Amino acid sequence: MFKPVMTAAVAVGCLAHVALAQEVAELDDTIEATAKALIEAARVDEVGLTFVEDLTTEVGQRLAGSEAEQRARDWSVAELNELGFDAVRVEAFDIPFWSRKSEAVAVLTPSPQELVATALGGSAATPKDGVSGPVVRFESLADLQSAPVSKVDGKIVFIDEYTIKTMDGSGYGMGVRKRSGCAKATSDKGGLACLIRSVGTQPHRMPHTGIMARDGAEGDGPVAAISGPDADQLTRLLARGPVTVSVNIQTEIKTNAPSGNVIAEVTGTDLRDEIVLLGCHLDSWDLGTGALDDGAGCGIVVGAAKLIAELPERPRRTIRVVLYGAEEVGLFGATAYAREHGDDLDKHVLASESDFGAGPIWRFQTRFGEAALPYARTIQNLLIPLGVTPGDNRARGGPDIGILARSGVPVVTPGQNGIDYFDYHHTPDDTFDKIDPDEFRQNVAVYAAFAYVATETGWDFRKQPEPETVGTE
């Protein structure tokens, strides 16, 4: 009879868990009505979309550490002041600077032809006249890493690994591994340069840049991405026989260049010391105008915060918008923020970052204290009319607020549908026309609603269950 008893116990435990999983927190009627009004206002909002249109038009690309990123900070400070935000300021820091000057990749034999390539951020330069040699192809970074030195020495490595399209962007993680690891694995084995199949997911001749692993401004070797059709071409040529290619990458590097985080607030009232942080990053890669990555994120959080600022009453907690600098090249803004505000993290009651384009939000992921999960459910219920489903409680936060999440700051990750994101991300095609205004505004609605509820309720998103009382009978 032992087994059935255990089963019953497990069943009771499960039921209790299910019951807990459904528990919601009660929301004040006025707060709920105001949150719904914010959602309606967001559906026709122009502030957020205009922010990203103007930023990407009037500044353009905003490579970290460049004069253009400086212009973006100046532009943002002026714009945020114009919009009536409080305490608009820049928290400055320095970064190592890398910029492409030129890149050229070409097949030399058996049939001379140029390949469309882009140097990865941090790529070492080649000698002025480039390098050339036979190509050795690997189907994955792992294959390169396990290859004998003799297979790589004196060669140009080509990693022909695909990126899988997924709604949640998980396919990108694998792509980033080859982007980070190829130069070092190549140079460790005497290879001359590395070419990777572009991490992007579109079928166009538009390769995807992004940072390689590096210390300082420059990494271990020359590394470039070739577009998908060019990777196909190289693979077809290699199937016919030996292929030699040339690679020429020229760069500009500096030890120190200026960057900074732009901060603006909607000052709260009775709980003004408590911060609801809404983040994005202001820098972009140099190829596009950084509309999706991450002009959109900045437009979304600025638009949402501005809607809250326009309510008849100021919010109880302070909403802090942080436009991080130098995210793309190593999360320098995130580190600087954590350094500057490290003594104050307990006052950060919630943080969220928009950095995955402008696709519609389809799930509401959190990382809350376990006893705060009913708050997540209540907020997600508010967002059902926007098409937002429940998410798990394992959110890691966006790239810039991951460091806060790891320090215990509760985070919300409104999960966007990113199925097409890597078609544009880090390519010349990351431009304003790729943003769907209605989908963008759905994002503004989600951010405005949850940020508002987080300020007005005073809920403690760190809340843990009470320790269980030990029975005395």
For binding to its own copies (CB under 8 A), which residues are involved? 53, 57-61, 68, 71, 107, 110-113, 116, 203-206, 228-229, 232-233, 236-237, 240, 288-289, 428-429, 431-434
Nearer to its own copies among residue 68 and residue 147 (C-beta): 68
Least Cβ distance, residue 99 to its own copies (angstroms)? 12
Residues 6+ apart with CB under 8 A from 311: 34, 38, 452
Q: What is the 3-state secondary structure (H, E, C) of 251-319?
A: EEEEEEEEEEEEEEEECCCCEEEEEEEEEEECCCCCCCCCHHHHHHHHHHHHHHHHHHHCCCCCCCEEE
Q: What's the closest the beta carbon of residue 301 comes to its own copies, in angstroms?
A: 23
| Integer Cα distance of 111 and 273 in angstroms | 67
Residue 75 CB, nearest approach to its own copies (Å): 9
User: What φ, ψ does residue 175 adopt, rounded to 5°?
Assistant: -60, -40
Task: State which residue, 129 or 433, has the beta carbon closest to its own copies.
Answer: 433
Distance of CA 217 to the CA centre of its chain: 21
91 Cβ contact partners less than 8 Å away, ≥ 6 residues apart: 260, 261, 263, 336, 337, 340
* CB-nearer residue toward its own copies: 202 or 416: 202
Q: Looking at beta carbons only, is 262 or 338 nearer to its own copies?
A: 262
Residues in the chain: 473
Q: Which C-beta is closer to its own copies: that of 202 or that of 365?
A: 202
Q: Which is nearer to its own copies, 258 or 428 (CB)?
A: 428
Q: How far is the CB of 409 from its own copies (least distance, A)?
A: 36
CB of 395 to its own copies, least distance (A): 33
What CA–CA distance (Å, rounded) separates 193 from 329? 21
Closest approach, Cβ 420 to its own copies, in A, equals 12
d(CA 398, CA 28): 29
